[in-house]
Amino acid sequence: MKKIRRILVIKPSSMGDIIHVFPALELLHRAFPKAELDFVIHPAFAELLKYSPFPVSRKIMFERRKLARLRSFLPELLKLVRKLRFYRYDLIIDFQGLLRSGFIAGVAKGGETVGFANPREGSARFFYRTRIPAIGRHAVEKNFNLVRSLLHSQENLTATPMPANDKALSKLEMRFGKLPEKYIVLAPGARWSSKIFPPELFSEIISLVHAEAPEYVFFTIGGSGDREREETLAGDLAPDVKLVRTSGRTSLSDMIELIRHSKLLISNDTGPVHSAAALGREIFAFYGPTDPAKTGPYSTNAHIYQYGGHCLKCLSRRCRVKKNSLSAAPCHDLDAAKIAADIIAFIKGGDKPCGENQ
């Protein structure tokens, strides 16, 4: 491959998807340590790039909301195109595999344009000059192997530790006080409604864990839209359970540092599980509409709980089986006592829980 001076990576969202690219970026950085990297990303996730193993020179914001509005579409598109064509890129890689990300790769000024041979949206591949078959089952493996194949490298996939952010930790402790020695993080929200397990599941697990390990403090995390679930969860707990509510009150960096220093994470299928995986934290996660083998936490410390059924891994953002808005999705019927017992076993230092499908 010719000398590479500037690289453009396209992966606008989401939190987990961006973290899944980090091992591939590390390999890319080892191959081209003097190259500069620009990254196309949604503004909501731009802060994640502080943790990129390949230092990012320029963040090119993909303003999806502005591009979706008739009034702001054209000026925002022209703004994006100008930024994409400000430099000439020696290498452009689209890890997203959608029509819009393929279009971004196509309009950027550059040479080699690379993407998957069978992207998520087939029309995206027409924007790639080099199409590489997806190798591996998990998204982390596919992204890493794309770069590995491109470079004709023999390197193996290894864990990519996320560097500590002392400024974020200081900011977090200024807001919520010094972090306790023993605490557990909870992520009761998610972007898809079908991924949101009942708050009552979390509160029941917390109550059972608290009965055996009362010294532990619990922190909820999430966006401002998760506050209602946070309040529901808190309302089901006994007064002596210590719960610190941070939903909508932290940045992505704050959230990552909170997870870094925790004992474990209890979570729906949402972005923080991937942060926890990259940080080497223990994860107890609930999965229903998606396949954890493909997009779950890429970690040997992850315990996945699923309730079997014909609708499992349906990939539907909203449950199509529920009878009404008040009824529960079939895949959400998990055994809180079993999950709590596994968590307690881990906390107490006994046998490591298997935590596989129920």
The 3-class SS string of 103-116 reads HHHHHCCEEEEEEE
- Whether domain 167-347 has CATH 3.40.50.2000: the reply is yes
What's this model's pTM, rounded to 2 decimal places?
A: 0.91
Tokens of 190: 């998610």
pLDDT at residue 352, rounded to an integer: 53
- Residue 285 pairs with which residues in a beta bridge? 267, 304
Note the pLDDT tens digit of each residue in 252-290. Answer: 999 999 999 999 999 999 999 999 999 999 999 999 999
Asked if the domains 6-151 and 167-347 are classified in one and the same CATH topology, the answer is yes
Mean pLDDT check: name the lowest of 128-137, 153-162, 200-209. Answer: 153-162
- In the sheet with 56-61, reading across from the earlier edge strand, the strands are 56-61, 36-41, 6-10, 89-94, 110-116, 130-132
Q: What is residue 325's predicted lDDT score, i.e. its pLDDT? A: 60
Q: Where are the domains of the chain?
A: 6-151, 167-347
CATH of domain 6-151: 3.40.50.2000
**Which regions of the chain does DSSP assign to beta strands (E)?**
6-10, 36-41, 56-61, 89-94, 110-116, 130-132, 183-187, 217-220, 243-245, 264-268, 282-286, 302-305
pLDDT digit string, tens, across residues 188-200: 999 888 999 999 9
